[in-house]
Amino acid sequence: MAVNKEDVLRWLDALHELFSQNEQQLTDLDSAIGDGDFGASLHRGFAAVKAQLAANPLADLRAVFQRVSGILIKTMGGSSGPLLGTFFLRAGATCADKSELGPAEVVALFQAGVEGLQQRGKAVLGDKTMMDAWLPAVEAMRGALDAGSGVTEILEKGAEAAEAGMRATIDMQARKGRGSYLGERSIGHQDAGATATAMLIKTAAQVWG
């Protein structure tokens, strides 16, 4: 199976629905150790993505990712907008001159996006951030690709690893962001960014599978 522009658009629509339905959950998680605006920011950002892509259809995959990047940076608050905007911008760069993405291209897309996130946010594994879901997910995707898996299994393995990483944040002490100010009091709370990341990858597995 290959992923084309219509598949990406269906994924973005599904993300809008997902973050709309889970706005309160993500807000509650963020309120425990963060600013409490993460759920609303995601909802607002992907609602804008849905509306603007519907109003201004784009010709190719790279243009879609670039537009999503710009919309999220403009409409989401805090650090999450620039971070997710960077993810989509870097991911889109791997789609230049491509109308379809096979297994290797899908892995390259996610890996490039996550490398952009790391460069922008400077977080590493164990900091209790979205990277605790992203980094294991990409590693699992690469492993599945090396094992000869197709797009569906690659994304399913990535989603499983992201969820495990998300759950691991509960026992971590935050070393980045507002949560780091709480010290040991940040332990016992699941990171909102890692939760949204696990949701995002699981949705890709469902839509592209």
What pLDDT, in 10s, does the model give residues 88-109?
Answer: 999 999 999 999 999 999 999 9
Q: What is the amino acid identity at position 38?
A: F
Q: Where are the alpha helices (DSSP H) in the chain?
A: 5-21, 23-33, 38-55, 61-75, 80-93, 103-121, 131-146, 151-168, 192-208
Contact by Cβ (8 Å): 128, 186: yes
pTM of the predicted structure, to 2 decimals:
0.95
Residue 199: strand, helix, or coil: helix
pLDDT band at 85 (very low <50, low <70, confident <90, very high): very high
Q: For the chain, give the percent of residues with pLDDT over 90.
A: 85
Name residue 3's beta-bridge partners. Answer: 101
What pLDDT, in 10s, does the model give residues 11-61?
Answer: 999 999 999 999 999 999 988 877 788 999 999 999 999 999 999 999 999
What pLDDT, in 10s, does the model give residues 105-153?
Answer: 999 999 999 999 999 989 999 999 999 999 999 999 999 999 999 999 9
Contact by Cβ (8 Å): 8, 164: no
pLDDT at 178 over 70: no
pLDDT of residue 113: 98
Contact by Cβ (8 Å): 130, 120: no
Single out the residue of 95, 112, 97, 168 nearest to residue 136, CA to CA: 168
pLDDT band at 79 (very low <50, low <70, confident <90, very high): confident
The residues spanned by each domain of the chain are 3-208
CA distance 197 to 17: 15
Burial of residue 58 (number of CB atoms within 10 Å: 0-12, 13-18, 19+): middle
pLDDT at 164 over 90: yes
Looking at residues 186-195, what average pLDDT do you find?
92
Q: Measured on CA atoms in the order 140, 141, 143, 144, is the torsion positive or negative?
A: positive
CA 127 to chain centre: 17
pLDDT of residue 32: 85
CA distance 108 to 110: 6
pLDDT of residue 181: 58
For domain 3-208, give the CATH number. 1.25.40.340
